[in-house]
């Protein structure tokens, strides 16, 4: 009887520890800042790329890999482009991720950085 109770207590404590570690790992991965954007709100495109998207306009500023690899800096290996929504941005296989809102305006929209101020 005592062994049964002790076994149950150990099983419960082990389960709690495993769940706590899993929750801690998820919070650490969401707090890490991505290397492709200086914004803390950068969302990476993960999983399968969508093939069909809605046309709901909720603009995002996406980080697009240009395919250029350089030995020296500055190196234009990433451009920023405004997409109509997150789905259409992640549907492009060259997009690494995005931040919500339009890219800041400049003469060349493809290389403009995400705007720091977003209207809500």
What residue spans define the domains of the chain? 1-32, 37-120
**Confidence (pLDDT) at 111:** 52
* CA nearest to 63, candidates 85, 41, 48, 44: 44
What is the Cα–Cα distance from 35 to 78, expressed in whole angstroms? 12
Mean predicted lDDT score pLDDT of the chain: 75
What gap in Å lies between CA 24 and CA 2, rounded to an integer?
A: 33
Paired residues of 95 in beta bridges: 64
Q: What is the pLDDT of residues 20-66, one digit of tens each?
A: 555 444 433 333 333 343 457 899 998 899 999 999 999 999 999 98
Structure tokens at 86: 């997150």
pTM: 0.56
Joined tokens for residue 2: 């005592």
Measure the CA–CA gap between 104 and 86, rounded to whole angstroms: 17
Q: Minimal CA–CA distance to 41: which of 63, 19, 56, 70?
A: 63
């Amino acid at each position: 009887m005592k062994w049964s109770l002790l076994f149950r207590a150990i099983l419960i404590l082990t389960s709690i520890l495993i769940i706590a570690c899993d929750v801690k790992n998820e919070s650490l991965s969401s707090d890490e800042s991505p290397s492709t954007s200086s914004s803390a709100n950068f969302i990476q495109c993960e999983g399968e790329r969508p093939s069909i998207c809605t046309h709901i306009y909720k603009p995002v500023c996406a980080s697009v890999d240009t395919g250029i690899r350089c030995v020296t800096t500055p190196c234009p290996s990433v451009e920023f482009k405004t997409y109509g929504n997150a789905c259409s941005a992640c549907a492009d296989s060259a997009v690494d991720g995005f931040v919500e809102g339009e890219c800041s305006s400049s003469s060349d929209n493809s290389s403009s950085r995400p705007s720091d101020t977003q209207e809500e």
